[in-house]
Structure 1
């Protein structure tokens, strides 16, 4: 329980902090104050019950009519309080959700946590981060507000209602049991607490498995949505490979996971409902049964009976907060665990245990890149091909060669500072390393956004952007640029066009260090040679590392860096060739 409460507190602190945090706290205080006002109205309603039913019992029509008018005033006040409270709660929900989402996005994007915490790259990879940021942040704030505000209101209410019930039960219940005379003063107060306590224990015992079931259901729902997104993003490749049946099988398997856990979930909810549903239906009726002995003993009038049962009902329903909200509490705990897990792991992504992370890095004083004794390993404990020591200076154009699967892309990740598995030393300039992969990421915000990425298009003069796109053979896409369209501007681009668009970033950013990781593999030899010549002419001082299976014609390479044969696994020994 302590772990759960600390987890909830950490997340609540993140949501309630930040700029202008006082506005959220003020909204929370106002909503809380409205809860107390509504509680006062409810106390007036309890008093009204006795007066109204006494008037009916005494056939006092004028008094009954006065109480009817008072009843409508109370109902109108309660409705106004509810609407105002609901509106302010929604404002607070939006504000705190925005803050928590901002914190989650910062945690997920800073330090490249989104890269390190992919399943398989870290000891505790994060599955479905999109769901945790988009859905869990919203669910957490919604449940936090509904449960905490309701709980505070119930705590205040229980003090008020028990005080009222105590004042109304100034009589003694007397009866005989097995020949013994028993007297219980204020028996309805004790009956309320015992009744709810026993019911709460039964509810917890029957509903305990719900937390883990909700946790798994959220994961499997997110897995299914992710598979649908992958189908959308890779539609061309899947259709051309006639992969629709395979994708359907994969989607069916994901949905079967949802179905299987859903059956377990609804069965457990059914088991819990076998107790809670009858409890919900009787908790409003039981009070009058408990109050009947006092009425038949002549201790209270008919109006007093109704007032007593009304107070008892409010005590039991207030104490039943745990029972009424058990499914929401289980979901709240599951959501809190998923969110807190993401924040905790994003703060310091833990490496896979048992795999060396001995790569050291330093900044070179002479603007040169050097590697010494560098050996790279995979997260599953396998050494990759040897990396020969190298020294690369400004303006060099190096062709990186080697058979597929030897670790060339992993070497790029190590040079850029991302890869941590292995040993050896990397010394590199402070200037950032721009990397273009074989399949570049294209922003769906439009053609200009994709070409300038990650730079803001507003920082690039339109004429400069137009000139670069035309020189890279993308003149036919200029109409989309003029229209300023969004995702449709990059929809349908071939792999070759995507690679040309990525090369536009190079000409716009003019980096000091550039890595081309098979970045022109989809182009024919003549087009590739033309673009390499363009890069060499436009960026004569840029150091270029080019990973390619064929000699990069037009680049006029100044050296070759060959990645050799694979090394033994970590279990067999380390790289000492």
Structure 2
């Protein structure tokens, strides 16, 4: 329980902080005040019960009519305060959800936890982080507001109801048991607490497995949904391979996991419901049955018995907060576990235990890129082939070659500061860096966003975007600049996506350019054309190119071979030689 409360407290502090912190707390206080109106209504209704039923017992029609009018007035006040409270609750829910979601995105995106916490890169990967950010933040805030408001208002109401029940139950219950005379003073008061205590224990005994079932259901539902997203994202490859059968097998297995846990959850809910449902249906009648001996004994009138039953019922219903909300509490605790796990993991991603993290990366004040004694490691701990020492100056164009699996892409990640595993020293110059991957990233926001990614397309003139498309041979796509969303990039081949990536480089004009198989989908002639374009447009940029085919049109000044026997080969720039001649 202490661990659960600590997790709820940590997440709550995040939700209520931030720029709208005071506004949220003020809203919470107002909502809490409106919930106290509900307590006042319940107390007034208890008093109304006595007055109304006494009027019926005394055959006083005028008084009964007056009490009916009072009843509808109380209902109007109660309904108005309830609706106002519900409206404000939804407003507060979005306010706190926004704060919690922004913090989750800060940890997950800005600190690159989305990269470090993948399976294989950390001993504690986070499953379905998209669900935790989008769904669990909302569910946590909703549960926090609902449970705390209900708990506080119930606690305040309990004092009022207990005081009232104590004052009404001034008589004793006397009976004979096995020849002994037994007298229980204020028996109705003690009966309320004993009744709820026994029922609360039974509720927890029957429903204690719900939390683990709910936690598992969230995960399995998310796994199934993610698989469907993967089908959409890889539609072309799956369709071309005719792999629908394989995908159906995967979906069937994932959905079967959903179904099996759902059945277990359903069974557990049924077991709990076998007790809680009858309890909910009888709790309003039990008070009347318990107070009946007082009525037959002449201790109270009919109106007094109804008042006593009302007070008893309010005490038992308030004490039953735990029973009535057990399933919701279990779901809230499960959501808290998942969300707190994301926050803790993203705040400090655990590194792989067997891989060294001794790469020293510092700024290079002289503007030169230097690698000294660099030896990279896989996350599993295995060392990759050594990287030869080298210095790179502005205008240098280095070709990194070697067989597949020798760590070429990993070296680019280490140079850019992303890869953490290894040893050695990397001095990196300042200025603008740009990394171009093999796939040619296309932004879901559309063609214009793809050309300026990761910058905002609003900061670039449309004419500049059109000119960049024309220079990479995609003039036919200029009209799609005015179309927002993925429709503007639909139907592009991988080669066309790589041309768009080259256009992005022309627009960004980086000081350091990292190309990772960035033209692999182009035919040799088109590849040389694109590389020559980069060379002409960015003569002073430092370029590192990972490629299996020699990128001759780039004007390579040096080749670095990765493998068992790495080496550095200086290569004369053909263009510079021709100029000198």
Q: Which residues of 2 match residues 189-200 of structure 1 at below 5 A?
A: 189-200=189-200
Q: Which residue number corresponds to residue 380 of structure 1?
A: 380
CA contact (8 A) 2:399 2:556 kept: yes
Q: Secondary structure at the match of 1:521?
A: coil
1:445 deviation in Å?
A: 1.1
Q: Which residue number corresponds to residue 429 of structure 1?
A: 429
Q: Which residues of 2 match residues 77-226 of structure 1 at below 5 A?
A: 77-226=77-226
Q: Secondary structure at the match of 2:112?
A: helix
Taking the aligned partners of 1:215 and 1:336, their CA distance within structure 2 comes to: 10
Taking the aligned partners of 2:510 and 2:432, their CA distance within structure 1 comes to: 8
Taking the aligned partners of 1:377 and 1:80, their CA distance within structure 2 comes to: 65
Q: Deviations over 1:399-427 (max 9, x none)?
A: 11111111111111111111112222222
Taking the aligned partners of 2:240 and 2:255, their CA distance within structure 1 comes to: 25
1:431 deviation in Å?
A: 3.1
Q: Which residue number corresponds to residue 490 of structure 1?
A: 489
1:154 deviation in Å?
A: 0.6
Q: Deviations over 1:229-275 (max 9, x none)?
A: 11111111111111111111111111111111111111111111121
Tell me which moved more, 520-529 or 242-251.
242-251
Q: Which residues of 2 match residues 297-312 of structure 1 at below 5 A?
A: 297-312=297-312
Q: Does 1:287 align with 2:287?
A: yes
State TM-score, norm by structure 1. Answer: 0.96
Taking the aligned partners of 1:178 and 1:381, their CA distance within structure 2 comes to: 77
Q: Deviations over 1:134-160 (max 9, x none)?
A: 100110111111111111111111111
CA contact (8 A) 1:406 1:566 kept: no
CA contact (8 A) 2:294 2:300 kept: yes
1:373 deviation in Å?
A: 2.2
For structure 1, the 5+ residue unaligned runs are 568-577
CA contact (8 A) 2:354 2:380 kept: no
Q: Which residue number corresponds to residue 533 of structure 2?
A: 534
Size of the aligned set, in residue pairs, is 566
Taking the aligned partners of 2:28 and 2:363, their CA distance within structure 1 comes to: 50
State TM-score, norm by structure 2. Answer: 0.95
1:178 deviation in Å?
A: 2.4
Q: Which residues of 2 match residues 267-286 of structure 1 at below 5 A?
A: 267-286=267-286
1:432 deviation in Å?
A: 4.6
CA contact (8 A) 1:384 1:566 kept: no
CA contact (8 A) 2:170 2:186 kept: yes
For structure 2, the 5+ residue unaligned runs are 567-581
Taking the aligned partners of 2:10 and 2:440, their CA distance within structure 1 comes to: 37
Q: Which residues of 2 match residues 381-530 of structure 1 at below 5 A?
A: 381-481=381-481, 483-530=482-529
Tell me which moved more, 357-366 or 54-63.
357-366
1:433 deviation in Å?
A: 3.1
1:83 deviation in Å?
A: 0.8
Q: Deviations over 1:167-202 (max 9, x none)?
A: 110101111222222211111111111111111111
Taking the aligned partners of 1:450 and 1:432, their CA distance within structure 2 comes to: 18
1:295 deviation in Å?
A: 1.1
Q: Deviations over 1:476-528 (max 9, x none)?
A: 111111x3332100122110111111111111111111111001111001111
Taking the aligned partners of 2:251 and 2:323, their CA distance within structure 1 comes to: 37
1:35 deviation in Å?
A: 0.9
Distance 1:566 1:34, change over 3 A: farther
Taking the aligned partners of 2:119 and 2:292, their CA distance within structure 1 comes to: 63
Distance 1:220 1:565, change over 3 A: farther
Taking the aligned partners of 2:91 and 2:178, their CA distance within structure 1 comes to: 61
Tell me which moved more, 355-364 or 461-470.
355-364
Taking the aligned partners of 2:79 and 2:351, their CA distance within structure 1 comes to: 55
1:430 deviation in Å?
A: 2.7
Taking the aligned partners of 1:154 and 1:518, their CA distance within structure 2 comes to: 64
Q: Which residue number corresponds to residue 550 of structure 1?
A: 549
Q: Which residue number corresponds to residue 564 of structure 2?
A: 565
Q: Which residues of 2 match residues 33-44 of structure 1 at below 5 A?
A: 33-44=33-44
1:353 deviation in Å?
A: 1.7
Q: Secondary structure at the match of 2:111?
A: helix
Taking the aligned partners of 1:331 and 1:297, their CA distance within structure 2 comes to: 46
Taking the aligned partners of 2:538 and 2:189, their CA distance within structure 1 comes to: 85
1:205 deviation in Å?
A: 1.7
Q: Does 1:363 align with 2:363?
A: yes
Q: Secondary structure at the match of 2:113?
A: helix
CA contact (8 A) 2:193 2:316 kept: yes
CA contact (8 A) 1:528 1:553 kept: no
Q: Which residue number corresponds to residue 52 of structure 2?
A: 52
Taking the aligned partners of 1:428 and 1:376, their CA distance within structure 2 comes to: 17
1:102 deviation in Å?
A: 1.2
CA contact (8 A) 1:288 1:305 kept: yes
Taking the aligned partners of 1:157 and 1:537, their CA distance within structure 2 comes to: 78
Q: Secondary structure at the match of 1:554?
A: helix
1:305 deviation in Å?
A: 1.1
Taking the aligned partners of 1:278 and 1:564, their CA distance within structure 2 comes to: 73
Q: Deviations over 1:365-417 (max 9, x none)?
A: 32222222222222223222332222222211111111111111111111111
Taking the aligned partners of 1:540 and 1:260, their CA distance within structure 2 comes to: 62
1:459 deviation in Å?
A: 1.5
1:52 deviation in Å?
A: 0.7
Q: Which residue number corresponds to residue 571 of structure 1?
A: none
Q: Secondary structure at the match of 1:161?
A: helix
CA contact (8 A) 1:173 1:185 kept: yes
The Cα RMSD (Å) is 1.4
Q: Which residues of 2 match residues 346-361 of structure 1 at below 5 A?
A: 346-361=346-361
CA contact (8 A) 1:469 1:501 kept: yes
Q: Deviations over 1:446-472 (max 9, x none)?
A: 211111001111211221111111101
CA contact (8 A) 1:383 1:566 kept: no
Taking the aligned partners of 1:458 and 1:33, their CA distance within structure 2 comes to: 46
